[in-house]
Amino acid sequence: MAVRLRMKRMGRKNRPYYRIGAFDAHEERDGKVIENLGTYDPLESNNEKQVTLKKDRVEYWLSVGAKPTESVAVVLKKCGVALKK
């Protein structure tokens, strides 16, 4: 099974809020998640509260071959998670 680290959109209209999770690559954007790994609030003004991650679980999924989407890769880079090239 191919696993992707993706964002699942939550929140209301004009107030996005995302959950970062490990998904089967063939699952739809807001579909069933394998494991929730954190949250991302793009409208939060405090940078420390903007992203919450379970870094140990994110590193585990990256170590077993999960690939992050472009937007998740940017968030992970901001949080200091090392990505494979």
Reference 38, options 23, 25, 55, 24; nearest CA is 55
Whether residue 16 lies inside any domain: the answer is yes
Q: pLDDT (tens digit, 9 = 90+) per residue, 67-84? A: 999 999 999 998 888 777
| 84: in domain | no
Q: pLDDT tens for residues 6-63?
A: 999 999 999 999 999 999 999 887 889 999 999 999 998 887 889 999 999 999 999 9
> Which has the closest alpha carbon to 78: 61, 60, 57, 55?
55
Number of domains in the chain: 1
Model pTM?
A: 0.88
CATH of the domain at 48: 3.30.1320.10
